[in-house]
Amino acid sequence: MNDTLGGALPLDEALPLLGIAAWSGTGKTTLLERLLPALRERGLRVAVIKHAHHAFDVDQPGKDSHRLRQAGAEPILVASRARIALMMETPEREQADLAELVEMVRPQRPDLVLVEGFKAWPLPKLELYREALGQSLLAFEDAWVVAVASDGAPALPAGVAALDINDLEALADWVVAWPARWPRRRRPRGEVLSP
């Protein structure tokens, strides 16, 4: 696992987090694209924090926001009636700081924050696993994996729920129930929360 940890992650009762962890090519984004509408239909307001491994740019050269950011605005917030975008340059960092990103979405008061791609960070995770890729199960290496959604029936560590990656309704039901389980599951498998 090559994600660099940037600091402590706030795992408080007020904001349920669930990582979506998988090897590259498993289909994390594709699954989330199908899962998010099902969660919304069930009344869950979900924020997503996605890790990008490359230098990416959501702005376009020539646009005012791009010109102002290039000129040195740190950060730049672009807002309209329809959306808001915050852009910041972070050249001094090796990786994004998940704790900081969680704090950025907290004021929006989502029911759940799904975190895609920060697989080395200490937070409860749903692992997506496809046997055809021939990769090892992260659940055996990461005690934070609480469930595995797979296209087969792999052997799993004790305490890890088995889900069918192709059963969108069952996956949505499991994720919708996650915020209620969150207060008890904010530690790795086998570690008990202090009262």
| Residue 118 backbone dihedrals phi, psi, to 5 degrees | -100, 55
Specify whether 83 is located in the same domain as 110: no
Q: Comparing 142 with 61, which gets the higher pLDDT? A: 142
Whether 71 and 153 map to the same domain: the answer is no
pLDDT, position 142? 95
- 193 has a pLDDT exceeding 70: no
Same domain, 88 and 99: no
Per-residue pLDDT of 65-87, as tens digits, reads: 777 777 777 788 888 888 888 87
**Does the predicted model carry a pTM greater than 0.75?**
yes
pLDDT digits (tens, 9 = 90+) for 165-179: 999 999 999 999 999
Give the span between the Cα atoms of 46 and 54, in whole angstroms. 25
Same domain, 121 and 102: yes
Residue 193 phi, psi (nearest 5): -70, 140
Q: Does residue 73 sit in the same domain as residue 102? A: no
**Beta carbons of 147 and 126 less than 8 angstroms apart:** yes
Residues 119 and 155 in one domain: yes
pLDDT given for residue 2 in this prediction: 40
Task: Give buried/exposed letters for 121-145 (b at 16+ CB in 10 A, else e).
Answer: bbbbbbbbbbeeeeeebbbeebbbb
* CB atoms inside a 10 Å sphere around CB 103: 12
User: Which position has the token pair 């090897």?
Assistant: 23
Position 160 scores a pLDDT of 96
Query: Torsion angle of alpha carbons 108, 184, 44, 122, nearest 10°?
Result: 60
Domain count, the chain: 2
Residue 83: CB atoms within 10 A of its CB come to 7
What is the average per-residue pLDDT within 87-112? Answer: 85
Residue 9 lies in a domain: no
> Do residues 44 and 80 share a domain?
no
pLDDT at residue 50 is higher than 50: yes
Give the span between the Cα atoms of 78 and 76, in whole angstroms.
6
Residue 187's pLDDT is: 78
Question: In CATH, what number is assigned to the domain containing residue 28?
Answer: 3.40.50.300
Determine the structural domain holding residue 86 and report its residue range.
57-92
86 and 155, same domain (yes or no):
no
Q: Please provide the size of the chain in residues.
A: 195
> Measured in whole angstroms, how far is the alpha carbon of residue 185 from the centre of its chain?
16
Strands 84-87 and 76-79: antiparallel
| Sequential DSSP letters for 145-178 | EEEEEESS-----TTPEEEETT-HHHHHHHHHHH
pLDDT of residue 186: 76
For range 179-193, the mean pLDDT: 77
Q: Are residues 42 and 106 in the same domain?
A: yes
Strand partners of residue 147: 126, 161
Residue 14, SS3 per DSSP: coil
Q: Say what the pLDDT of residue 185 is.
A: 75
